[in-house]
Structure 1
Amino acid sequence: MKIRLERDVLAEAVQWAARSLPTRPSVPILAGLLVTASESGVTLSSFDYETSAQINVAAQVSDEGQALVSGRLLADISRSLPNKPVDLVSDETRMEITCGSARFTLQALPVGDYPSLPDMPEATGTVPSEAFAQAVGQVVVAAGRDELLPVFTGVRLEIEGDTLSLLATDRYRMALKELNWNPGSPQISTAALVPARVLADTARSMSAGDEITLSLSSGGAGDGIIGFEGHGAGGVRQTTTRLLDGEFPKVRHIMNTQSALNVRVSTAELISAAKRVALVAERNTSLRMLIGDGSITLEAATGDQAQASEAIEATIEPVGGGEPALDAAGFNPTYLLDALGVIDTPYVNFAFTAPGKPCLLTGLNEIDGDSLGDYRHVIMLMRLPS
Structure 2
Amino acid sequence: MQFTVDQTDLAAAVTYAAHSLPAKPPVPVLAGLLLAATDDDVLRVSAFDYETSSDTTIQAAVTGPGRALVSGRLLTDIAARIRGTVRVELTGPRLILTAGSARFTLPTLPLEDYPQLPDAGTGSGTLPGPALAEAVTQVAAALGNDDALPVLSGISLHHDQAAGTLTFTATDRYRYAVRTLTWKHCDLAGDRTALAPGKKLLDAVKACADDPTVDLTIPDDSNAGLFTVRSETSTSTLRGLEGSLPAYNTLFPSEFAHTATVEISVLKEAVQRVALVATRNTPVRLAFTADGSLVLEAGSSDDAQAVDTVDTALQGEELTIAFNPQFLTDALTAFTVGGATAVDFQFTSPTKPAILHGHDSDDQALRYALMPVRLDG
TM class, shorter-chain normalised? over 0.9
Asked if residue 378 in structure 1 is aligned to residue 373 in structure 2, the reply is no
Asked if residue 355 in structure 1 is aligned to residue 350 in structure 2, the reply is yes
Residue type matched to 2:226 in 1? I
Q: 1:208 is matched with which residue?
A: 210
Residues in 2 aligned to 1:371 and 1:17: alpha-carbon distance in whole angstroms: 36
Deviations 1:151-203 (A, max 9, x none): 00000000113201000000000100011111013754111100111111111
TM-score scaled by length of structure 2: 0.94
State the SS of the aligned residue for 1:19. helix
Q: 2:313 is matched with which residue?
A: 315
Q: 1:242 to 1:269 in 2, by over 3 A?
A: same
- Conservation of the 8 A alpha-carbon contact between 1:125 and 1:181: yes
Aligned counterparts, 1:118-129, within 5 A:
118-129=118-129
Q: 1:269 is matched with which residue?
A: 266
State the SS of the aligned residue for 2:366. strand
State the SS of the aligned residue for 2:89. strand
Residues in 2 aligned to 1:331 and 1:195: alpha-carbon distance in whole angstroms: 27
Residues in 2 aligned to 1:45 and 1:97: alpha-carbon distance in whole angstroms: 18
- Residue of structure 2 aligned with 1:250, choices 233, 247, 250: 247
Deviation (angstroms), 1:270: 1.0
Q: How well do the aligned residues superpose, as a CA RMSD in angstroms?
A: 1.8
Q: 1:56 to 1:373 in 2, by over 3 A?
A: closer
Aligned counterparts, 1:49-68, within 5 A:
49-68=50-69
Gaps of 5+ in 1: 319-323
State the SS of the aligned residue for 1:137. helix
Residues in 2 aligned to 1:137 and 1:102: alpha-carbon distance in whole angstroms: 38
Which is further off, 133-142 or 181-190? Answer: 181-190
Deviation (angstroms), 1:12: 1.4
Q: 1:116 is matched with which residue?
A: 116
Aligned counterparts, 1:221-260, within 5 A:
223-230=224-231, 236-256=233-253, 258-260=255-257
Q: 2:72 is matched with which residue?
A: 71
Asked if residue 105 in structure 1 is aligned to residue 105 in structure 2, the reply is yes
Residues in 2 aligned to 1:217 and 1:176: alpha-carbon distance in whole angstroms: 20
Gaps of 5+ in 2: none
TM-score scaled by length of structure 1: 0.92
Q: 2:139 is matched with which residue?
A: 139
Residue type matched to 2:208 in 1? M
- Conservation of the 8 A alpha-carbon contact between 1:35 and 1:66: yes
Residues in 1 aligned to 2:186 and 2:91: alpha-carbon distance in whole angstroms: 43
Deviation (angstroms), 1:244: 0.2
Deviations 1:324-343 (A, max 9, x none): 2x621000000101101111
Residues in 1 aligned to 2:219 and 2:134: alpha-carbon distance in whole angstroms: 24
Deviations 1:133-152 (A, max 9, x none): 11111100101112321100
- Conservation of the 8 A alpha-carbon contact between 2:193 and 2:218: no
Q: 1:332 to 1:117 in 2, by over 3 A?
A: same
Deviation (angstroms), 1:39: 2.5
Deviation (angstroms), 1:74: 0.9
Q: 1:37 is matched with which residue?
A: 37
- Conservation of the 8 A alpha-carbon contact between 1:290 and 1:297: yes
How many percent identity over aligned positions?
A: 38
Aligned counterparts, 1:295-314, within 5 A:
295-301=293-299, 304-314=302-312
Deviation (angstroms), 1:247: 2.9
Which is further off, 168-177 or 289-298? Answer: 289-298
Which is further off, 183-192 or 141-150? Answer: 183-192
Q: 1:321 is matched with which residue?
A: none
- Conservation of the 8 A alpha-carbon contact between 1:177 and 1:376: yes
Q: 1:87 to 1:159 in 2, by over 3 A?
A: same
Deviations 1:250-269 (A, max 9, x none): 22321235312111111221
- Conservation of the 8 A alpha-carbon contact between 2:215 and 2:231: yes
What number of residue pairs does the alignment pair up? 370
